[in-house]
């Protein structure tokens, strides 16, 4: 992983490089790898129902559920 720095321009470059590596490593679509790289650079946890993120470190995945019957 490319180290993240405080300079915004350099941070953007490191996020982009890390995103491309994550995309290859986890077979993620590029948009998802950018989200993951950005979250990691700011030490954030991702909470999602997007199955592309299932079983990735730093991600809380919650599968979508079908709505149950309603009591009326």
pLDDT in tens, 26-46: 999 999 999 999 999 999 999
The H-assigned helical ranges of 1-72 are 8-26, 30-41
Contact 63, 49 (CB under 8 A): yes
List of the chain residues with pLDDT < 70? 1-5, 72
Contact 36, 44 (CB under 8 A): no
For position 72, what pLDDT does the model report? Answer: 61
pTM score, whole prediction: 0.79
């Amino acid at each position: 992983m490319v180290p993240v720095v405080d300079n915004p321009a350099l941070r953007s470059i490191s996020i982009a490089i890390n995103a491309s590596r994550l995309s290859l490593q986890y077979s993620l679509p590029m948009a998802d790898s950018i989200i993951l790289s950005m979250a990691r650079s700011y030490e954030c946890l991702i909470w999602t129902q997007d199955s592309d993120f299932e079983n990735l470190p730093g991600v809380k995945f919650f599968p979508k559920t079908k709505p149950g019957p309603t009591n009326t």
